[in-house]
Structures are given as C-alpha cells and as structure tokens.
Amino acid sequence: MSDQTRVKADIVRYTAEYARTVHSWIDSEETATNLEIDTDYPPLEEVIEGWQQENMVSYLLLSGSGPVAYAELWYRPAELAIQVRRLLVAPKYRENGFGCKMLLLLCEIAGRRKEVAKVYLTVNWDNRTALGCYLKAGFTVAGTTHDKPGLYLTRLVERT
C-alpha cells in the first residue's frame, strides 16, 4: 500500500503513554542520527519525553494496529511557518505510505492557522527514503541547510 492516499490512519496528539513505543522505533544508529539524537546509541528511554516542549505539538499516526508514526510541529511565527521535526515511522511500517500520510495530515493541521503560509522540514543528504517520502507529500527542495549537510524542503499551506 505505497499510495499515501489509500493508507487508512488517523492523527492524534501524542501522550506520554506512548513514549516507550516511540522509543522502540529508534532501531539503529542511522535512525538516531536522522532524528538528531546527540547521545550514544541506543538513546535513553527518556529521550522522547525530552523532546516535548512548549512551542511545539507532537502527534501520532494511528492505524488499525495502533501507533505507526510520530512527528512534531514547531510553530515559527517570525517565518509565518510551521516546521515538521522528528518524523519517525515504526520499522515494520516504513516505506508503506505512512510517513507520507502523516505529512499530509500535518499539513492539513498547519493549514488551519491563518498566520501560517508554509510548512518546512530538513533532511540529511543521505536519507533517500525520507527525501522520497517528502517529495511524494508535496514538498519541494528549496535549498540546503546551514547547520548540517542536508536539504531544506518547503510546501505552501493549503487552506482548509
């Protein structure tokens, strides 16, 4: 089921009861690096709770079997934007359209804010799977990142 429009899933706000589940999806050093985890692998279980901050909202994508993806929306008022951070799909659901579905639903949420004109995210150069997902979800490459080797991608907000 690689077509993200056919993936059956709903988005809900993240709650701490899912911290252990989300932590279990960090299944390799590469995944930890892509999530910008700066500690030794495997990271401590508390890393997920450490991600929760005031200026952002975390979400879970739920499928019939339970949570399948996690991501964060960071409001950037000075940029009239929302940044997507830490998109993480459960290992057994990767490359099946769930990451794209999550991004589409996050963009819908962003579109509900009148003051937001775009959604953006960054990706490491060598994370081709994520890049493919982002492009399928309607993002376009807008440049390179300044603080690490990677790409900066944007998508204009569609009003809902």
100-147 pLDDT tens trace: 999 999 999 999 999 999 999 999 999 999 999 999 999 999 999 998
| pTM for this model (two decimals) | 0.94
pLDDT of residue 1: 37
Section 53-76 average pLDDT: 96
Cis peptide before 149 (omega within 30 of 0): no
pLDDT of residue 5: 55
Mean pLDDT of the chain: 94
| Reported confidence tier of residue 3, pLDDT bands at 50, 70, 90 | low
Give dist(CA 138, CA 112) in Å, integer: 18
Please report the domains of the chain, with CATH numbers, ordered by start residue. Answer: 10-156 (3.40.630.30)
Give dist(CA 88, CA 26) in Å, integer: 8
Burial (CB < 10 A; 0-12, 13-18, 19+), residue 134, is buried
More confident position, 79 or 65? 79
Closest CA to 81 of 59, 52, 110: 110
**Residue 59: strand pairing partners:** 13, 71
